[in-house]
Structure 1
Amino acid sequence: MLVAPWRIGIDIGGTFTDVVAIDPNGRIEALKSPSRPDDPTAGVMAALDVLARRLDVPKKQLLGGCSMLVHGSTIATNTVLEGKGARVGLLTTKGFRDTLEIRRGIREEPWNHRPPFPHVLVPRRWRLPVGGRLDKNGLELAALDEGDIKAGSAAFRAAGVECVAVSFLHSYANGAHERRAMEILLADWDPDAIFCSHEISPYAGEYGRTSSTVLAAYVSKRVVPYLRSLEGILRQNGLFGPLLLIQSNGGIASVDEIARNPACLLLSGPAAQVGALKYVAATAGTDNLISLEMGGTSCDLALMEGGRVHSTDRIDIAGYLALVPSVDIHSVSAGGGSIARLDAGGMVTLGPDGAGSTPGPVCYRRGGQNPTNTDAHLVLGRLAPGPFAGGTLDLDDQAARQALQRVYGDTIGLAPEAAALGIIELMDQNLRHAVEHVSAERGFDLRNFTLVAVGGAGALHASSVARSLGCSTVYIPRLAGVFCAFGMLNSDVRLDEVRTIRRPFNQGALDDLERVAHELEIGLRARLMAYGETGSHPLFSRHIDLNYLDQQSQLSVEWTDNDIESTIATYEERYSLLYGHAHKHSPLMTCALRVSGSRRFPGVSIQAIGGRDYVPSASGQRRIVISRDIGALDVNVYDGTNLRPGARLVGPAVINDATTTIFIGKGDKLEVDGSNNLVVSVAVPVQGGAV
């Protein structure tokens, strides 16, 4: 039984809403509840109802005893993906009305000219030019035309525009024109409806800055009212502690902070992997990790190298660019609900669309007609028919088998088991490519990394994927199925500031950077102290974006002291890792300074349990299709809740744990470590031969 005050993490996914509660003694309660995409607030409250029943307390007592509630949601991402954002008007410098349309002139696939660009979020009739001009150093070349701003505001209101984005040329160097524009707009608009690029994304490059500002405005009308409404409902139901949100940078922030830049919620849920991976690094004995977080709709991957999760300042959401500090998450359309079909050539295809929570896979018996990855696992015996996800679902293997027969058997004569195996093999291949993208393609040797299998479906695929990659170890936390919700409770408050600074990188540049960094830290400190007195003193980190003279792209390196030679050496090391060489002794340019401020709250305590080696008893056996070569075998099935530290077993085997199902292949060795998590030593085949 948990003891108040507890903390609660809630992560809304496409299929399930994950909930984790932890008390001061480190005791944890975790559960899954079906998501409500049509009404996310109702989905959150329904999940809290389930938790209250689990703890046998009224919901008001549950929320009254909560010292901190952290929430992660895909609402911002889904707003962009579904095209359901606000009607946005854009005020931009005269002559740059079509920046959003022109983009950067880059195609991701240079030899493929067929894919169209996504439609522009702001129609041309709502992109209005404003007179006035600054140069690249922020000096005024032409005065701001205030009449254009007033006329634009009136035109927007007449057209039914809901939010206004302001992006003037070179405002990253001087925000004076944008600040004056906002003062004028406030006569007609609510402050929450105005977004200026020098505050949202003060980067050089008008397209990225404008796109980021428009995206913040576009998602604001769904994100901010939802968060304020949810916070109000939680307050009415007894919550006294703060409602905090997980941001794209992996840190947490208040609703008021998110309202300043709602684009910071893009990739909100998956970014909680930062906090979760910090816990894994402390228990797994290695800080070189690759997470494979596979849920019902997608799979999100992140790489931790030497204890640091890689980050980026560029998020691509459905072809739209957002320049916001973010965990470097690689997402692919690969989940338990990924829909399997036959293409026009008779080939098995998987995704990218998914069945979601409603109607869900065929085996959910909620009206789904298309077989999915989950249906394939059920037909192969890796999942068992009957109660699933804590009894919230009841899996029907016959319905899954009939769907596979209809799609594959009646058309190309492929038996349900053969079709299911093909679906699983295709999913494994997609996941392998995703892991290679975040690791091998960036110069990292997979033999030096442990694959962390998380999410409701990650542990069903991880051993097979690791084997194909030559990765020898898979780590499966006990809370794998609620990994991101758990990570939210091990996250810090984090706020970011950036300044564009273009000049040669020399000792004089370091002096200027020190002055600007100090100014940014003063502002961040005041904002961080608003989070109460329970956290640590504010901590700051600094990074400098550098590139070689006349290059367009840049790399960010940590700046810890004024030793210019060590900073250059770090840059050249990273450059060599990515590109295989470095331009030694070539002039370097500064591009931007980044300062991050954080406050650490009490994280998840790590308690080593210890235990003696033993061979656990199986709870039963099930006929399971292992692979195309091995075929079907009678396999031991274990109840994961009965596996204690020291347990050792050899695959093939299935482990039914509290929040996930684990499948290990023939020859794989699983043990429960001293922290009560599961470690799989994968039977990696020798080159050119079998295991």
Structure 2
Amino acid sequence: MRRARVGIDVGGTFTDFVLSNGADGSLTYFKEPSVPSDPSLAVERGMAALLDRARLEPGDVELVVHGTTLGLNAIIQRRGAAMALVVSRGNRDVLEIARCRMPSSYDFSAPKEEPLVPRDLVFEIGARSAFDGTILARPPVEEIAELAETLKSRGVAAVAVMLLNAYVDPTLETEVADALASRLPGVLVSRSSQVWPEIREYERALVAGLNAYIHPLLERYYATLTRRMGELGVAAPLYITASNGGALSVDSARARPIDTVLSGPASGVVAAARIALLTGRQEIITFDMGGTSSDFAVSKGGEPEYTTRTDVGEFPLILPVVNVSSIGAGGGSIVRVDKHGVLKVGPESAGADPGPASYRRGGTEAAITDCYVAAGIIDPDAFLGGRMKLDRAAASGALERVAQRLGMTGEDRAAQAAEAALSVTTAKMATELFKGLAQRGLDPRGFALIPFGGAGPTHANLLAEEARLAAIIVPPGPGTFCALGAIMADVKRDYVRTVRRRLSDDGAPQALAATIAGLEREATDWVGSEGAIVEATQLSAEADMRYAGQAYELHVAIPAALGKTMAAREVGELFHQAHERLYGFRDVDSAIEVVTLRVRVVGRVPPIAIPELDKTATAVEPKGRRRVFHRGQWLDVPVFLRDRLVQGQGFAGPALVEQEDTTTWIIPGWHARVDAVGNLHVSRG
């Protein structure tokens, strides 16, 4: 009988697994070193080991939810498919012109980033629609045939089609895309009106282009992954985590892979928001520190914060995503001294191969993980539960070279260099945190930090102290937390239509309500096709609105009842309130324009059980003690095993808590307490 759900998160350094056993409510965690050349191989190996640890058979798995950074990495590293862009005549330079902004406001010689598609692979065609969708020009068959032959000769694997005003009426763009697809067998043809039909040609061209750019790579990966799961005997439905914090069937992800490009960070935020509600915390900051970067997000009232404008590498993305900010500071971030003698950390990373010096895989430069090892925070013999041994001598040797360049002397110079690097890293993180909270007008002292990722709990207390946060909540399996978030995710997708109607126009409320109803029907049909795991459906609507003449819009939530009428007075008042809340005033004399309507559909998935700890167990003593270098001196620190801690147990820092997927470092002046489900609450005093 199928009873288990498996969450998988493929990272650059490790591939993480969580199994929820519906029969007894238990959770099983596992980490497998990633294989950058073939990520699906690590998934296959890890899945086999996970099932063995849980004492289950492949046939016991009822659902697999998978997240990956493959698409994101392909964009950042420019390793996507050879592709072309097809545009309306006169619009060839849409990617070159972009938004006419300098890369730097003060450096007039700063080089401009290369566009996603080189200009010689951007092709014009005689297809054009007016602002209202009226077709002004159709390309002759001969022009399409000639363009198809040109694309064949250039050897492209994908083509994105973005015609002017196609967001109003996709008919012409669909005709052109279908005609090209019929002449280009084996070549993906992506059209902007299918991917994301929203106003603004540059951003729409990028969304369609990025979708085409990563499609062949992810198509091959999903095919290989499906084959490997089948060979293993896992026949469960496969879902892919999405950038909006939800999940999609693998077929939906294949059709529109751009939806998944920021899914990895989003899954952890979703899990953290659920955990926060269990603990009674309304305001949290999530802190995901992996091998390459650290990601931060804000969640209030159990709901992550979303945005419809973010960046993927140097490219703006207008899809709805969980609002995550990142800096290049992770466990693999390289520690170095620049030519001016200044200590620097990141953004360069040692990755999984060769990895930090302590990995003994050929890496010689010190990384943050080496700092943890040299300072005594991480036990080199207990990494990954002892499955992977680290080399403390190699870590210290790499840091001694850093210390020498900094002019440090004495027998503790490696530990001093390690602490200095950790301080630099902490300062970078705190700066990013302060900036994000200040932009929202929030006080960090009211927030709890929920750390996850392999290095999150290790660094969380250092960050909380620096950033003056109120508390820390370390979940039971922080090193595999994004994988847990994957199996907590509901099925979710967003729909959008640009309408550009003033509320005061005749018939505007009726037209707007009809558009929302159409989007809701489309969304409901989609969620009904996503499989039997959905037990309930929830719809919500938003309007992007502005005062006439403004350049950008505010997102205004539309209550369900109001969405059926879009009554001008009530909708206008909601916008006035939102504008006044953000900018401090309302302009009652200006016309209000509804630019875009949005609908989100959520297919609720049965929640997984979070097992409670035994209430009758007695507190255990530390397994031993270890020397840790902190604030210029060696401390004698007790070491606890996470799986031995009991409900209600408390202890004061300094202390270390070890588990297979991470180590939690509790600094002096802070106190830890274990709650009913095993969360570790760390607070001052």
- Give the alignment's TM-score, normalised by structure 2: 0.94
| Structure 1 position 164 matched with structure 2 position 140 | no
Structure 2 residue aligned with 1:34: 33
Contact 2:444 2:470 in 1 (8 A): no
Equivalence for 1:141: 136
Is 1:409 the counterpart of 2:404 in the alignment? yes
Residue of structure 1 equivalent to 2:205: 210
Once residues 519 and 372 of structure 1 are traced to their aligned partners in structure 2, the CA distance between those partners, rounded to angstroms, is 53
Equivalent residue for 2:675?
Answer: 673
Matches within 5 A, 1:389-538: 389-409=384-404, 412-413=407-408, 415-506=413-504, 508-538=507-537
- Residue from 635, 638, 652 that aligns with 2:637: 635
Alignment partner for residue 651 of structure 2, among 649, 652, 660?
A: 649
Q: Which amino acid aligns with 1:428?
A: T
Match of 1:106 among 82, 87, 101: 101
Quick one: which of 244, 261, 267 aligns to 1:266?
A: 261
Say yes or no: does 1:620 pair with 2:619: no
Per the alignment, do residues 370 and 577 of structure 1 end up closer, same or farther by CA in structure 2, a change over 3 Å counting? farther
Q: Which residue is equivalent to 1:686?
A: none
Distance 1:411 1:170, change over 3 A: same
1-structure distance, mates of 2:382, 2:163:
57
CA contact (8 A) 2:356 2:365 kept: yes
CA drift of 1:179 comes to 0.9
Q: Distance in 2 between matches of 1:9 and 1:198?
A: 32
C-alpha distance in 2 between matches for 1:606 and 1:396: 36
Q: 1:366 aligns with which of 355, 361, 365?
A: 361
1:663 to 643, 662, 665: 665
Could you say which residue in structure 1 is the equivalent of 2:545?
546
Q: Give the Cα separation in 1 of the matches to 2:610 and 2:335.
A: 41
Structure 1 residues 659 and 135, CA gap change in structure 2 (3 angstroms): same
Number of residue pairs aligned between Structure 1 and Structure 2? 675
Partner of 1:331: 326
- 1:249 has 2:259 as partner: no
Note if contact 1:4-1:23 (Cα within 8 Å) is conserved in structure 2: no
Where does residue 79 of structure 2 map in the other structure? 84
Given the alignment, which residue of 603, 606, 621 partners 1:602? 606
- 8 Å CA contact 2:653–2:668 kept in 1: the answer is yes
Question: Which of these residues, 197, 200, 208, is aligned with residue 195 of structure 2?
Answer: 200
Q: Deviations over 1:294-343 (max 9, x none)?
A: 11111122211222211122331221223222111112211111000011
**Superimposed CA distance per residue, residues 153-212 of structure 1 (whole angstroms, 9 cap, x where no aligned partner):** 110001111111100111101111111102211321248701001111211111000011
- Displacement of 1:413: 3.5
Runs of 4 or more above 6 Å deviation: 612-615
Runs of 5+ unmatched residues, structure 1: 684-691
Structure 2 CA distance for aligned equivalents of residues 506 and 334 of structure 1? 50
Task: Tell whether the 8 Å contact from 1:463 to 1:682 is kept in structure 2 after alignment.
Answer: no
2:305 is the counterpart of 1:302: no
Distance 1:114 1:505, change over 3 A: farther
In the aligned structure 1, how far is the partner of 2:315 from the partner of 2:678?
42
d(CA) in 1 for partners of 2:619 and 2:382? 27
Q: Measure, in 2, the Cα distance between the counterparts of 1:97 and 1:434.
A: 37
Identity across aligned pairs (percent)?
32
For residues 9-42 of structure 1, the C-alpha deviation after alignment (integer angstroms, 9 at most, x for no partner) is 1101111110000111321100111001111111
Structure 2 unmatched runs, 5+: none
Range that drifts further, 551-560 or 360-369: 551-560
Alpha carbons of 1:156 and 1:474: their partners in 2 closer, same or farther (altered >3 Å)? same
Cα distance in 2, alignment partners of residues 192 and 567 from structure 1 = 45
Provide the C-alpha distance between the structure 2 equivalents of 1:331 and 1:99, rounded to a whole number of angstroms. 28
Q: Secondary structure at the match of 1:471?
A: coil
Matched residue SS, 2:608: coil
2:277/2:301 contact within 8 Å kept = no
Q: Would you say the 8 A contact 1:363–1:399 is kept in 2?
A: yes
Pairwise CA RMSD of aligned residues? 2.2
Q: Is the 8 A contact 1:288 1:306 kept in 2?
A: yes
Residue 594 of structure 1: CA displacement? 0.8
Q: Distance in 2 between matches of 1:666 and 1:569?
A: 52
Amino acid at match of 1:619: K
Change (3 A) 1:53 1:533: closer
Distance verdict in 2 for CA 1:391–1:509, change over 3 Å: farther
Shift of 1:607: 4.8
Separation (CA, whole Å) in 1 of partners of 2:171 and 2:533: 37
Once residues 627 and 569 of structure 2 are traced to their aligned partners in structure 1, the CA distance between those partners, rounded to angstroms, is 62
Mapped partners of 1:76, 1:465: distance in 2: 30
CA contact 1:313–1:323 (8 Å) conserved in 2: yes
In structure 1, the partner of 2:597 is 593
In structure 2, the CA distance between the partners of 1:88 and 1:292, relative to structure 1 (3 Å rule), is same
Distance 2:627 2:497 in 1: 60
User: Per-residue CA shift, 1:246-294, capped at 9, x if unaligned?
Assistant: 0111111112211222111211211112430242123220232110011
Q: Verify the 8 A CA contact 1:192 1:260 in the aligned structure 2.
A: no
Matched letter for residue 536 of structure 1: E
Q: Which of 168, 171, 180 lines up with 2:175 in the alignment?
A: 180
- 2:17 corresponds to: 19
Shift of 1:608: 4.9
1:292 equivalenced with 2:292 (yes/no) = no
- Confirm or deny: 8 A CA contact 2:545 2:593 kept in the other structure: yes
Change (3 A) 1:444 1:116: same
| 8 Å Cα contact 1:409/1:416 also seen in 2 | no
- More displaced 10-residue stretch of structure 1: 631-640 or 355-364: 631-640
Q: State the shift of 1:397 in Å.
A: 1.2
DSSP 3-state at the match of 1:386: coil
Shift of 1:4: 4.6
Q: Give the superposition deviation at 1:240.
A: 2.1
- Counterpart of 2:258, as a letter, is A
Deviation of 1:468 (Å): 2.2
Deviation at 1:554, TM superposition (A): 1.6
SS at match of 2:385: coil
Match of 1:688 in 2: none
* 3-state SS, counterpart of residue 494 of structure 1: strand
Q: Which shifted more, 144-153 or 515-524?
A: 144-153
1:441 counterpart SS class:
helix
2:354 is aligned with 1:349: no
- Matches of 2:172 and 2:250, distance apart in 1: 28
In structure 2, relative to structure 1, the CA distance for the partners of 1:255 and 1:480 (3 Å cut) is same
Give the partner amino acid of 2:349: G
Structure 1 length normalisation: TM-score? 0.93
Contact 2:145/2:183 (CA < 8 Å) preserved in 1? no
Q: Deviations over 1:47-97 (max 9, x none)?
A: 11321332345xxx32x2110001100110111122111111111011110
**Contact 1:610-1:675 at 8 Å conserved across structures:** no
Distance change >3 Å, CA 379–CA 503, structure 1 → 2: same
Distance 2:281 2:495 in 1: 31
Residue aligned with 2:479, SS: helix
Structure 2 CA distance, aligned partners of 1:54 and 1:547?
55
Aligned partners of 2:354, 2:583: CA distance in 1, in Å?
A: 46
Is 1:385 equivalent to 2:387 in the alignment? Answer: no
User: How far apart are 1:577 and its partner, in Å?
Assistant: 5.5
Letter in 1 for 2:495: E
CA contact (8 A) 1:274 1:491 kept: no
Inter-partner Cα distance in structure 2 for 1:110 and 1:145: 45
Measure how far apart 1:640 and its partner are: 1.4
Distance in 2 of aligned mates of 1:438 and 1:5: 41
Counterpart code for 2:650:
R
